[in-house]
Structure 1
Amino acid sequence: MTDLPANADGGGCPSGLAPPDTKSAHGTDLSAFVTQKGNLNRLHLSVRGAKCGGCLSKIEKAVHALPGIDTARLNLSNGQMEVLWAGDLKPSRIGETISNLGYGVSVHSEDDAAKDAKREERSLLIAMGVAGFAAANIMLLSVSVWGGHGEMGQTTRDALHAISGLIALPVLVFSGRHFFKSAWSVLKHGRANMDVPISLALILAFSVSVFETINSGKHAYFDAVVMLLFFLLIGRFLDARLRRQAHAAAHDLAALRNSSVNRITSDGKTETIRADAVKEGDTILLAAGERAVVDLRLTSGTSEIDESLVTGESLPRIAAAGATVYAGSVNLGQPLRGTALGAAADSLLSDIAGMLEAGEQRRSTYRKIADKAVSLYVPFVHTAALLTFIGWLVFGASIREAVMVAVATLIITCPCALALAAPVVQVVASGRLFKQGIYLKSGDALERLATVDHVVFDKTGTLTLGEPVLNEDGVDPETLNKAAMLARASRHPLSRALVTAAGAGNLATDVKEFPGLGLEADLDGVTCRLGSADWVGVEAAEATDGPSLWFLEGENTPILFRFSDEPREDAAETITALEQLGLSLEVLSGDRADAVQRLSDRLGIDQWTAQASPQDKVERLENLRAEGRQTLMVGDGINDAGALSLAHASLTPGGAMDVSQSASDAVFSGGLSGILDTLSASKTARTRMQQNFGLAALYNLIAIPIAVTGNVTPLIAAIAMSASSLVVTINALRR
């Protein structure tokens, strides 16, 4: 667990992205939701309002301080927190501890978490639309006041100000509630966040405008209030939209784990149950074409098992009684029976789910450029406004004058440019990448992608096409057509590849399939076989390495068909380009050693690892991290999901498994060149973000002295604030 320096001790959440809601576990008995994990008690909670590294550190440290706590791990992307402890600690104390920090807490629900994220985004969008509509209308009234300066009567001006106030009041209450709730939730616990100065600026500017309108003042600042709301809500909405799908991997994996299972009862009947109802020792029927959702030890049947999404092995393997079939594998042939080795929660898929959670937790601790910038902003703004107010009073100004200058200072330093600096760059970069067939999913992914120095590739389906291709050199077309007549009766990948090479044709009649061996049929009265070397009588010493099929026609000499998983067309070109960028490369695959070595040599990659399990891949990523490497993982299978999530940054091709796509930072299509496009865009985006924060800092250095000395009104301050937002937006749009 990593402790973060930003606001870790009472500074509050500098982002203020969402306040805790009213649903709370404070004072609620949570004992019914406690489960056991070994000798420890386990409780899953949903924490609301925690949006930055400072929040994460503060919550985890507070819970860890409770007696008996073993683990307290919060995932910022989905708000899920897991707590493990030993002893007699009451779970309600955990909820109270989090609630007393100013955060909402309740029993965790995957459905509720997804609904809350969508609800937040929709609420921000509506609030932004209302504020934008109101700002346009109030500006029309303000233009009339400005245009009629010196000619418009006092009564008319007061009426226009009053109408503006009537429009602004409900907008302030409705659209501003996102900031007010967040500010109040931390203030009542003696803390502060970015929304405190924003709320002060909005309330004070509105109050001063009401005072000026009642006293027939020349200026009111209702337009500044609503414009400020509109620009701030743009930043909030953009950030919420980029965050909403950050925890989609867990949902996709849960969908696999929550599938139904066919269980055979003690009286021999078959019943369909939920996967989470399976217990160790249950007898499970795995039908042809079905994906296993629990780990099984086979008791009867022989069939080919496709483990490509679990282990990365490109070819199916024969599984018979005594073999272990892991959750996520697909039965390609005959029905199988097996004994469950444990509940769904103890399967390989669950282990991968744990890796995903650990990966999301680590990414949550990543110190984004925006977090670094805003961590110092709250005390600075508060101090500047307070000193301005006190200073003007000391030098003899009236309370009204001092308040006006302080409000102008709050408005002119309001973090519009700061709030937009990163999100607008992310949205622009995401749009440009989308046009290139690359879907960026994580808000801070661009920053992490820009710093990678080492690339780890999966093999099957990533560097290669993921499908075997027949090597047609020396293959007799007539023999190929005869073999294809048998192959058309099989779903085996090598049979499919042979049929693809042969093209359209006839299917032999009465084709018999022998699990683990091959196919047999009569062609023009001659018995023909297609399958393994043993099936056609080839001695083991004569068998070839690599994927192959043998065809035997009658008493003739068996014919060998060789297959290979070909590299993608642009693989070699992409590898060369990445090396020219100064990146080191390696291949990390679950496939056979000979296949991995052959591909690595062909592409010029010196470092490679074969037959790596999902745990092996994670261990390799952890070792690279310990060495100080910023690793980019590129993979496509369920077996890659844990590594994709735990890597510093990750990419996956468009044809990958949903879980892998969700676990990665971006999905690319159209070939491996998408990796180069993504890295190039990320470096440009990181530069633009740094420039934007520099521009925002420069703006404050110039604007604050002018505001503090009383040379701007709240209206001019609002215009200046809007101009700074426009500048960072234009900079983000630059090529």
Structure 2
Amino acid sequence: NMDVPISLAVILAAGMSLSETLRGSEHVFFDASVMLLFFLLIGRFLDLRLRGRARSAAENLTALKATAATVVAADGSLQSLPINRLKPGMTVAVAAGERIPMDGEVLSGRSEVDASLLTGESLPQPVYAGAAVYAGTVNGGGALRIAVTALPDESLLAEIVRLMESAEQGRDRYVRLADRVARLYAPVVHLLAAATFGGWLALSSLPWQDSLMIAIAVLIITCPCALGLAVPAVQVAAVGRLMKQGILVKSADALERLAQVDTVVFDKTGTLTRGCPSLQNAAKADPALLALAADIARHSRHPLARALSRAAAGTGRDLTVREHAGDGLSTEVDGKTIRLGRRGWCGTDDGSADGSMELWLSGGDFAPQRFTFNDAPRADAAEVIAALKARGVAVELLSGDRSSVVGQLAEDLGIEIWRGDCRPADKIARLEELKAEGRRTAMIGDGLNDAPALATAFASLSPAEAADVSQIAADIVFQGERLSPVVEAIGTARSARRLVFQNFGLAMLYNLIAVPIAVAGFVTPLIAAAAMSGSSIIVTANAMRLNLKNRSDDA
């Protein structure tokens, strides 16, 4: 790599200078060695500043695994067993609030399970006898008895961990631009210096020491300090610009990959949308019933109940509310049982369900009242998608949510290609399809279920509110309620890529001029070091131009 010619020049210059000192010679070049090391360390420092802590997202995912399970014995007694001792057919008891330790089927009990690991959706999913549940998800309000259906290593969580590890290994095979240039540049430099030494030694009357000095000058003047600074200097300027706008670049080669992206794949919940349900039909609802529903809803932490209590002030009446896991809430008002919850439990299962998020209020001297909710898109979602398309970037939507909901959002935002009901493996399969077509994809997601796809994609971004695993897997994390950082990051990456190629061009032009002069013997190692340093300064100054560009530059 680029360290080889630099190291060789430092060793030869220092060794030759030491030899000349012992001989009492007039010229030594220790300063050339020091200057070479100085610029090498500047480039290394700039590069290391961009490298985050080496944490594996797959390792972080394993924190979701339970370490033990409560097994129900044949005589009804309970005993705690390590996860690795569970076998299919065993019955496990899972209390409210506990993490489900393995994949299984509910035998008895009713509850709600946080299945965001699988679907990416923030709403808990009701489960009952016969329902499938998965390791790593969290049991809500009711106790469950679950029959184990898969070994720990065959669970959905284990599959996601394997997908993450496989994706990270694939990402590690990416070769950075500077290293690709060095593979060609370093051998040429070594051959040129060797040819210069051999030529002067064979074709002139100069002693071998002077011939070696000329060869060292060639080695120094062609030393790729400018090439070594070409990438990190631009990256630091780009990272600084993005940091000021709340965009954190975590990977040293993230911008290099993002600049080549031609397809952006979005997740839905929490990425294109806010990930927080809001009441949709407050204006059409009866104000008295809305206030009553808000009074009941404030006793629950269910996402829809919280959205309802945020949307209406309520009357402040003191109610005794009971929560029924998987069904809803009930209370007594004027001697009548009032229910707020799912349509079937509230007695309104008339077959008119349209797939919307909803709560029903029933039980009093009034017709059942329906409250509908939606997960509104981010304020600038449509604008960002239009901006990406204008820059020649294709846009797709992959979500674990219901296809009817995903399709409606895609239509509203102008996304032609979309898929719903996607599991983590489905998202990875689609990214692999795009890769096979020669596409460079950027995945943007926030959920636990998005982490494998984030690691698989050519580049990846995640909002700051995302799950920890997703933030670790992503190359770039952006803050704020808006999606505009996606456009800014791609634009800055493309600008940075242009400046990197300009820097390579400047470095090559310098070599085309300086190398013939050095080979001809008109340059001492000290002058060569000064010339090399000047080229490095020019490259760094060119990189700083990135901060002078208008932020609206789309690159």
2:407 maps to amino acid = Q
Equivalence for 1:327: 135
What's the secondary structure of 1:521's corresponding residue? strand
Contact 1:588 1:610 in 2 (8 A): yes
Equivalence for 2:551: none
Equivalence for 1:530: 340
Change in CA separation of 1:492 and 1:703 when aligned onto 2, cut-off 3 Å? same
Q: What are the Cα deviations for residues 676-698 of structure 1, in whole angstroms up to 9, with x where unaligned?
A: 10011010011111111111211
Equivalence for 1:226: 34
* Aligned-partner Cα distance in 1 for 2:252–2:540: 17
* Aligned-partner Cα distance in 2 for 1:251–1:723: 45
1:672 aligns with 2:483: yes
Contact 1:312 1:460 in 2 (8 A): yes
Give the structure, 1 or 2, with the largest relative contact order (CA under 8 Å, sep 6 or more): 2
What's the CA shift for 1:272?
A: 7.1
1:248 aligns with 2:56: yes
The alignment covers a number of residue pairs equal to 541
Change in CA separation of 1:707 and 1:603 when aligned onto 2, cut-off 3 Å? same
* Aligned-partner Cα distance in 2 for 1:665–1:195: 26
Counterpart of 2:416 (choices 600, 606, 612) is 606
Contact 1:452 1:630 in 2 (8 A): yes
* Aligned-partner Cα distance in 2 for 1:277–1:705: 72
Change in CA separation of 1:198 and 1:542 when aligned onto 2, cut-off 3 Å? closer
Equivalence for 2:233: 424
Q: What are the Cα deviations for residues 133-174 of structure 1, in whole angstroms up to 9, with x where unaligned?
A: xxxxxxxxxxxxxxxxxxxxxxxxxxxxxxxxxxxxxxxxxx
Change in CA separation of 1:283 and 1:728 when aligned onto 2, cut-off 3 Å? farther
My pick for the range that moved more, 511-520 or 235-244, is: 235-244
Q: CA RMSD, aligned part only? A: 2.2
* Aligned-partner Cα distance in 2 for 1:516–1:437: 39
Question: Matched residues, percent identical?
Answer: 52
Equivalence for 1:560: 370
Structure 1 unaligned residues grouped into runs of 5+ = 1-13, 15-193
What's the secondary structure of 1:292's corresponding residue? coil
What's the CA shift for 1:359?
A: 2.2
Change in CA separation of 1:265 and 1:522 when aligned onto 2, cut-off 3 Å? closer
Contact 1:310 1:637 in 2 (8 A): no
Equivalence for 1:701: 512
My pick for the range that moved more, 560-569 or 602-611, is: 602-611
Change in CA separation of 1:729 and 1:572 when aligned onto 2, cut-off 3 Å? same
* Aligned-partner Cα distance in 1 for 2:181–2:379: 43
Equivalence for 1:615: 425
* Aligned-partner Cα distance in 1 for 2:155–2:404: 29
Contact 1:304 1:319 in 2 (8 A): yes
Equivalence for 2:527: 716
* Aligned-partner Cα distance in 1 for 2:91–2:528: 72
1:210 aligns with 2:21: no
Contact 2:292 2:315 in 1 (8 A): no
* Aligned-partner Cα distance in 1 for 2:110–2:42: 59
Counterpart of 1:357 (choices 165, 171, 177) is 165
What's the secondary structure of 1:535's corresponding residue? coil
What's the secondary structure of 1:534's corresponding residue? coil
Contact 1:373 1:693 in 2 (8 A): no
Change in CA separation of 1:200 and 1:268 when aligned onto 2, cut-off 3 Å? same
* Aligned-partner Cα distance in 2 for 1:236–1:409: 23
* Aligned-partner Cα distance in 2 for 1:516–1:494: 13
Counterpart of 1:629 (choices 435, 439, 443) is 439
Equivalence for 2:496: 685
1:338 aligns with 2:146: yes
* Aligned-partner Cα distance in 2 for 1:360–1:699: 38
2:11 maps to amino acid = I
What's the secondary structure of 1:572's corresponding residue? helix
1:470 aligns with 2:279: yes
Counterpart of 1:594 (choices 386, 399, 404) is 404
Change in CA separation of 1:230 and 1:280 when aligned onto 2, cut-off 3 Å? farther
Q: What are the Cα deviations for residues 448-491 of structure 1, in whole angstroms up to 9, with x where unaligned?
A: 21122222111111111111100112123322221122212222
Counterpart of 2:458 (choices 630, 641, 648) is 648
Contact 1:279 1:340 in 2 (8 A): yes
1:697 maps to amino acid = M
Change in CA separation of 1:426 and 1:280 when aligned onto 2, cut-off 3 Å? farther
Change in CA separation of 1:247 and 1:540 when aligned onto 2, cut-off 3 Å? same
Q: What are the Cα deviations for residues 61-101 of structure 1, in whole angstroms up to 9, with x where unaligned?
A: xxxxxxxxxxxxxxxxxxxxxxxxxxxxxxxxxxxxxxxxx
Change in CA separation of 1:276 and 1:653 when aligned onto 2, cut-off 3 Å? farther
Could you tell me the TM-score, scaled by structure 2's length?
A: 0.92
Change in CA separation of 1:402 and 1:676 when aligned onto 2, cut-off 3 Å? same
Counterpart of 1:441 (choices 217, 225, 250) is 250
Equivalence for 1:486: 296
Change in CA separation of 1:542 and 1:346 when aligned onto 2, cut-off 3 Å? closer
Contact 1:508 1:521 in 2 (8 A): no
1:414 aligns with 2:223: yes
Contact 1:489 1:507 in 2 (8 A): no
* Aligned-partner Cα distance in 2 for 1:223–1:581: 49
Equivalence for 2:68: 261
What's the CA shift for 1:731?
A: 1.0
Equivalence for 1:457: 266
Counterpart of 2:183 (choices 375, 386, 394) is 375
Q: What are the Cα deviations for residues 497-530 of structure 1, in whole angstroms up to 9, with x where unaligned?
A: 1111124764744322222221111124332110
* Aligned-partner Cα distance in 2 for 1:276–1:712: 70
What's the CA shift for 1:279?
A: 5.2
What's the CA shift for 1:337?
A: 3.0
How do residues 150-229 of structure 1 correspond to structure 2 at under 5 angstroms?
A: 194-229=2-37
* Aligned-partner Cα distance in 2 for 1:525–1:363: 64
What's the CA shift for 1:260?
A: 3.1
* Aligned-partner Cα distance in 2 for 1:719–1:445: 33
How do residues 306-317 of structure 1 correspond to structure 2 at under 5 angstroms?
A: 306-317=114-125
